[in-house]
Structure 1
């Protein structure tokens, strides 16, 4: 990648930080996501997780703590509600994955509407 192309990709990413974009890679694949960070080597993307993936991840971690209470004998049991278990009541399912992509592997960036 030429220095000029690298600088152009960097500038486009910088100008669209926190925007929803489609990133095209050298191998022909593409990834859509929100640019959350940037340095001179990499761009950081938050990519949306499909609804069915969110539900399966949330259900896999909730088991008996879905209502926020630990049972006697559980590691988090303190004689009352377990508000800090991490997967129980009050914690929404994960909605984004994080990707770190090298700027050298990007060929194009397009801004997408997110509505």
Structure 2
């Protein structure tokens, strides 16, 4: 796919859920967030397992108490960190092979 053609296709599918296949064979799925002259920015959903692994290493106040220090509980101090649902993936337009729409569930 030519660079200009890839840029136009990505612009046309802005804010849509797509599957992107790179020339290396790697496949990404996510929402087209932005396109500039050289890169495609995807908002890639983080799955349940990745989220749990990510949260396992975040410190929280309370040192073992799930809702903060004793006496300071839910929803006050020590409530926890908000969940992150998407991660930004930056892909080069030069490596784009195929972009196709996916049904959004």
| Structure 1 segments unaligned to the other structure (5+ residues) | 72-80, 83-87
Corresponding position: 1:103 with 2:97: no
Following superposition, the deviation at residue 64 of structure 1 comes to 3.8
TM-score normalised to the size of structure 2?
Answer: 0.77
CA RMSD of aligned residues (A): 2.3
- Greater percentage in helix: 1
1:57 alignment counterpart: 54
Deviations 1:4-57 (CA, angstroms, capped at 9, x unpaired): x21111111101111111111111221111111110110001111110111221
TM-score normalised to the size of structure 1?
Answer: 0.71
1:6 alignment counterpart: 3
Paired positions, count: 97
Match of 1:25 among 22, 26, 45: 22
